[in-house]
């Protein structure tokens, strides 16, 4: 249907090219033809929205258009024009002295077109350059109103939002599925001005003081001589830094865990990281840590899957987010708050709340839900919205204030500053995506890219010429008033408090909270990354850090590095595990999960496929039909569109793979050769690409199975049919029910060597 619509649109555009009825303005030139669309496959079919997922209207409390609406205003009208609105009769050839003669400098259209193109790029973000974003809405539950006067958190208040997810280290064009921290930045266009919650998917940070930020980023970015490796932490400078700065141990451990390779942006937690301060209407304060809890649960890739995805589909997370929203499977997160009394020590149960390398376990301070975020619309233009959005932790609203976390202090400076070079001047708040949805009435004037036409003669206050306007607001009229917290009498020093020196008890808690299979992944990640380092001294120092977390972790990584395991130099802390940190052991909704169905070859195979495909849709999941070649599968009923071919289907795209009978044998020598290299299965008869699809999905802990003779194909792929998560049924419906149960747990964890 999408392609059909595209064809029609191209046809209509050609017809509409000339309102006067002619199809082309150039005499003697043939009328433009719609390009032929001969794609072998079709994109995913939209899921019908569930009743509770119907998209809330994106609206602005002030009635101003949202960023998306404004973007739609560009590129309008029937005729192609210059930037000055002059209509053009030709845009494909430069103005020349004769068709074989020199190009003339007087060609103002050529110069305008090329000059604009020359300046299309802006500097990418110095960190978090690679990202994807979406529009949505946030609804307050009202539960936070006891502790904050922030209007957007009040009961049933709906606020438009724009959320950008990102990786940290890679350039704009780098792969989505690299091992890295993910950004999770939310812009709330509230009725009291814009509030930005600029968080990450990992609740702690590498460093405790902003002055170290350039250092940690220089160490993580590619080496300055050859500019490699791209978007990786597996190199000497990164490990040099994090082993010389033991405060980085906790964040590094999270990165080496499954949290470093999320399955989807929709399946990530988000964290504000720092402790913030909430203020109620009476001025009473509470300390808070913000959390985003995904409705679909927290899920990750396995390492091999992430690596294959980097090559097969570097845009995997970006595509996944856009597809889900387009299909009506709107991603949702609950905003949660961990609150703590605002005592002079600013500690909770002995944990320093100003140290951003600390978490407070949820078992000690439960995360209380305060609102719901739903992403409902993809951006209309990547550059205008996703690239130009400018977040800043200093975009605060009444009811939310900062604390003295020294990392946050530096951020409050940095984000405003960086936009000036990235967005070319101080007026970036006028870019549609950055405009507040409240009236702006500032006295900031002029500067690069000034698009407002300010009126009045007295841009200063107080004034008598503009009637004293504008006036100041008070606490009763939503003015932002800083909490008058006392500042301790102290000497000016460059040093951290002694409480910032505990670098190992929190990482040890994280390690002890992991299930066996998660620990195995962590060991494999450290072993991989450190084996990619060249310097022996760095590996030895890393092992010493690991010894201070846990001797078993250290011992196993040491074995993988071929080095002796050192003894701890610190007393191992006595800490209770925090079960909430583990991603394994619970069940979650299967909405939007992708089920690959390989078409069978025999009689009745298409009918069986049709009914399972329908059941997958009814379960709120996305079926993708895989066949030897593109086109339609024909049988008695409606033809079924093939969405992936044996050449384009790869296991990483599917959460489960089902065989609707025995697939057609190998049909071309190229495909067979292509898959054979890494495949140990006996591929007699079956297409080796199907066998690779199955064996890879199996190896990655995914549900696999089928019906009507599928058993032999599974065996040929080297899959023991009695193994956990292998589903062989008489027919499709039985198999699918079992698959749904398996997908609710995300993966068949029992299949990994360590089990659950
Ligand atoms: Fe950032 N960070 N950061 N950061 N950060 C930026 O701002 C910075 C930190 C985070 O999607 C930059 O507009 C300093 C913690 C996200 O546009 C820059 C320090 C957390 C994004 C910057 C930190 C973050 C950024 C680059 C240490 C989690 C992407 C472009 C004091 C709580 C936002 C830009 C987007 C982006 C500085 C540490 C999250 C240079 C100095 C901690 C999600 O201003």
CATH of the domain at 680: 3.40.50.880
Whether residue 411 sits in one domain with residue 355: yes
Question: Which of 409, 434, 459 is the last residue before a domain boundary?
Answer: 434
SS3 644: strand
Domain CATH code at residue 415: 2.40.180.10
36 falls within a domain: no
As a whole number, mean pLDDT of residues 130-135 equals 98
d(CA 177, CA 187): 24
60 falls within a domain: no
Confidence of residue 285 (pLDDT cuts 50, 70, 90): very high
pLDDT tops 60 at residue 634: yes
Confidence of residue 105 (pLDDT cuts 50, 70, 90): very high
pLDDT reported for residue 611: 92
Range of lowest pLDDT (202-211, 358-367, 484-493): 484-493
Beta bridge partners of 161: 136, 188
Question: Which of 581, 613, 628 is the last residue before a domain boundary?
Answer: 581
Whether residue 667 sits in one domain with residue 551: no
SS3 20: coil
94 falls within a domain: no
pLDDT tops 70 at residue 470: yes
pLDDT tops 90 at residue 686: no
d(CA 435, CA 745): 41
pLDDT tops 70 at residue 79: yes
pLDDT reported for residue 607: 87
| Burial classification of residue 7, based on how many CB atoms lie within 10 Å of its CB (0-12 exposed, 13-18 middle, 19 or more buried) | middle
As a whole number, mean pLDDT of residues 168-173 equals 98
pLDDT reported for residue 605: 85
Residue 537: enclosing H or E segment and its boundaries? helix 536-549
pLDDT tops 70 at residue 15: no
pLDDT tops 90 at residue 65: no
Please indicate whether residue 183, judged by its CB atom, sits closer than 6 Å to ligand 1: yes
Residue 164 annotated as lining a ligand binding site = yes
Residue 291: enclosing H or E segment and its boundaries? strand 285-294
Please indicate whether residue 131, judged by its CB atom, sits closer than 6 Å to ligand 1: yes
Higher local confidence (pLDDT), 148 or 592: 148
pLDDT tops 80 at residue 680: no
Confidence of residue 596 (pLDDT cuts 50, 70, 90): very high
Confidence of residue 668 (pLDDT cuts 50, 70, 90): low
Distances (CA, A) of 400 to 164, 344, 440, 624, 755: 21, 18, 20, 45, 44
Whether residue 548 sits in one domain with residue 619: no
Confidence of residue 593 (pLDDT cuts 50, 70, 90): very high
As a whole number, mean pLDDT of residues 367-372 equals 98
pLDDT reported for residue 40: 47
Whether residue 430 sits in one domain with residue 292: yes
Whether residue 271 sits in one domain with residue 142: yes
Beta bridge partners of 74: none
As a whole number, mean pLDDT of residues 646-666 equals 92
CB half-sphere exposure, 505, CA atoms < 13 A:
16
5 falls within a domain: no
531 is catalytic: no
616 falls within a domain: yes
Whether residue 626 sits in one domain with residue 528: no
pLDDT reported for residue 708: 86
Please indicate whether residue 433, judged by its CB atom, sits closer than 6 Å to ligand 1: no
As a whole number, mean pLDDT of residues 717-743 equals 93
Total-model pTM: 0.90
Higher local confidence (pLDDT), 241 or 33: 241
How many domains, the chain?
A: 3
Which residue in 108, 109, 128, 521 is the catalytic one? 128
d(CA 504, CA 248): 10
Whether residue 669 sits in one domain with residue 569: no
Confidence of residue 74 (pLDDT cuts 50, 70, 90): low
Confidence of residue 19 (pLDDT cuts 50, 70, 90): very low
118 falls within a domain: no
Confidence of residue 37 (pLDDT cuts 50, 70, 90): very low
Whether residue 737 sits in one domain with residue 598: yes
201 is catalytic: no
pLDDT tens-digit series, residues 430-445: 999 999 999 999 999 9
Whether residue 671 sits in one domain with residue 563: no
Higher local confidence (pLDDT), 71 or 572: 572
Confidence of residue 29 (pLDDT cuts 50, 70, 90): low
Please indicate whether residue 164, judged by its CB atom, sits closer than 6 Å to ligand 1: yes
Distance between Cα 411 and ligand 1 center (Å): 7
Whether residue 624 sits in one domain with residue 554: no
pLDDT reported for residue 54: 39
Whether residue 206 sits in one domain with residue 231: yes
pLDDT reported for residue 636: 75
As a whole number, mean pLDDT of residues 245-264 equals 98
Residue 336: enclosing H or E segment and its boundaries? strand 332-341
pLDDT tops 50 at residue 1: no
For a substitution probing ligand 1, which of 172, 198, 288, 393 has the most ligand atoms within 8 Å of its CB? 198
pLDDT reported for residue 732: 87
Q: What is the domain extent for residue 668?
A: 594-751
As a whole number, mean pLDDT of residues 94-112 equals 97
Instruction: Compute the mean pLDDT over every residue in the chain, rounded to the nearest whole number.
Output: 90
47 falls within a domain: no
Which strands sit side by side in the sheet containing 726-729, from one edge to the other?
Answer: 644-645, 622-627, 594-599, 656-660, 703-707, 726-729
Whether residue 623 sits in one domain with residue 556: no
| pLDDT above 70 as % of the chain | 87
Residue identifier of the C-alpha nearest atom 29 of ligand 1: 128
Question: Which of 410, 434, 458 is the last residue before a domain boundary?
Answer: 434
pLDDT tops 90 at residue 678: no
pLDDT tops 80 at residue 233: yes
CB 275 within 8 A of CB 403: yes
Distance between Cα 308 and ligand 1 center (Å): 28
In this prediction, does ipTM exceed 0.90? Answer: yes
Residue 422 annotated as lining a ligand binding site = yes
Domain CATH code at residue 561: 1.20.1370.20
pLDDT reported for residue 524: 97
Please indicate whether residue 185, judged by its CB atom, sits closer than 6 Å to ligand 1: yes
d(CA 232, CA 310): 12
As a whole number, mean pLDDT of residues 16-43 equals 48
pLDDT reported for residue 95: 97
Higher local confidence (pLDDT), 634 or 331: 331
67 falls within a domain: no
As a whole number, mean pLDDT of residues 277-293 equals 97
């Amino acid at each position: 249907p999408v392609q059909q619509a595209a064809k029609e649109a191209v046809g209509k555009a050609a017809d509409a090219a000339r309102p006067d009825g002619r199809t082309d303005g150039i005499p003697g030139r043939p009328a433009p033809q719609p390009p032929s669309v001969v794609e072998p496959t079709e994109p995913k079919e939209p899921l019908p929205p569930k009743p509770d997922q119907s998209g809330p209207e994106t609206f602005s409390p002030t009635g101003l258009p949202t960023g998306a609406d404004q973007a739609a205003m560009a590129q309008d009208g029937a005729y192609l024009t210059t930037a000055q609105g002059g209509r053009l009769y030709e845009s494909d050839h430069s103005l020349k002295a004769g068709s074989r003669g020199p190009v003339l400098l007087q060609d103002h259209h050529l110069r305008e077109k090329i000059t604009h193109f020359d300046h299309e790029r802006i500097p990418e973000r110095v960190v978090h350059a690679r990202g994807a974003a979406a529009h949505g809405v946030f609804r307050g539950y009202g539960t936070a109103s006891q502790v904050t006067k922030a209007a957007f958190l009040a009961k049933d208040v709906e606020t438009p939002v724009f959320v950008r997810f990102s990786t940290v280290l890679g350039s704009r064009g780098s792969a989505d599925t690299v091992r890295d921290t993910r950004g999770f930045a939310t812009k709330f266009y509230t009725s009291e001005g814009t509030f930005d919650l600029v968080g990450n998917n990992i609740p702690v940070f590498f460093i405790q003081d902003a002055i170290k930020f350039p250092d940690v980023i220089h160490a993580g970015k590619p080496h300055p001589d050859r500019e490699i490796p791209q978007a990786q932490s597996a190199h000497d400078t990164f490990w040099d830094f994090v082993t010389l700065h033991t405060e980085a141990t906790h964040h590094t451990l999270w990165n080496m865990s499954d949290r470093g390779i999320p399955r989807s942006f929709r399946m990530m937690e988000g964290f504000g990281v720092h402790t913030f301060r909430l203020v109620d209407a009476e001025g009473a304060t509470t300390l808070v840590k913000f959390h985003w809890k995904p409705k679909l649960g927290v899920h990750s890739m396995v390492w091999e899957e992430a690596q294959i995805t980097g090559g097969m589909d570097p845009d995997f997370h970006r595509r996944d987010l856009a597809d889900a929203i387009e299909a009506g499977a709107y991603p949702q997160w609950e905003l949660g708050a961990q609150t703590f009394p605002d005592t002079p020590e600013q500690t909770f149960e002995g944990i320093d709340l100003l140290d951003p390398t600390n978490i407070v376990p949820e078992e000690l301070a439960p995360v209380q839900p305060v609102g719901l975020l739903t992403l409902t619309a993809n951006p209309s233009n990547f550059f205008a919205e996703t690239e130009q959005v400018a977040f800043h932790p200093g975009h605060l609203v009444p009811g939310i204030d900062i604390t003295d976390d020294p990392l946050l202090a530096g951020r409050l400076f940095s984000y405003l500053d960086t936009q000036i070079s990235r967005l070319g001047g101080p007026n970036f708040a006028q870019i549609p995506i950055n405009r507040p949805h409240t009236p702006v009435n500032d006295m900031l004037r002029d500067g690069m890219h000034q698009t407002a036409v300010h009126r009045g003669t007295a841009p200063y206050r107080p004034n008598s010429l503009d009637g004293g306007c504008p006036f100041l607001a008070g606490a009763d009229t939503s003015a932002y008033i800083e909490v008058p917290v006392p500042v301790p009498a102290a000497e000016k020093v460059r040093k951290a408090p002694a409480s910032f020196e505990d670098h190992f008890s929190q990482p040890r808690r994280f390690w002890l909270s992991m299930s066996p299979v998660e620990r195995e992944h962590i060991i494999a990640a450290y072993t991989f990354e450190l084996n990619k380092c060249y310097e022996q001294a760095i590996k030895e120092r890393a092992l010493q850090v690991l010894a201070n977390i846990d001797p078993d972790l250290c011992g196993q990584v040491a074995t993988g590095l071929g080095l002796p395991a050192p003894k701890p130099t610190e007393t191992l802390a006595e800490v209770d595990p925090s079960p909430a940190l583990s991603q394994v052991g619970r069940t979650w909704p299967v909405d939007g999960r992708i089920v690959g169905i390989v078409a069978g070859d025999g009689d009745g195979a298409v009918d069986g496929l049709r009914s399972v495909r329908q059941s997958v849709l009814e379960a709120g999941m996305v079926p993708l039909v895989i066949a030897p070649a593109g086109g339609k599968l024909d049988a008695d009923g409606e033809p079924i569109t093939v969405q992936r071919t044996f050449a384009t289907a790869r296991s990483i795209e599917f959460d489960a793979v089902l065989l609707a009978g025995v697939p057609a044998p190998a049909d071309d020598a190229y495909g067979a050769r292509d898959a054979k290299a890494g495949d140990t299965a006996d591929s007699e008869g079956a297409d080796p690409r199907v066998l690779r699809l199955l064996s890879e999905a199996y190896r990655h802990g995914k549900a696999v199975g089928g019906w009507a003779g599928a058993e032999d194909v599974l065996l040929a792929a080297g899959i023991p049919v009695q193994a956990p998560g292998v589903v062989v049924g008489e027919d499709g419906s039985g198999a699918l029910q079992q698959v749904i149960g398996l997908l609710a747990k995300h993966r068949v964890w029992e299949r990994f060597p360590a089990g659950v």
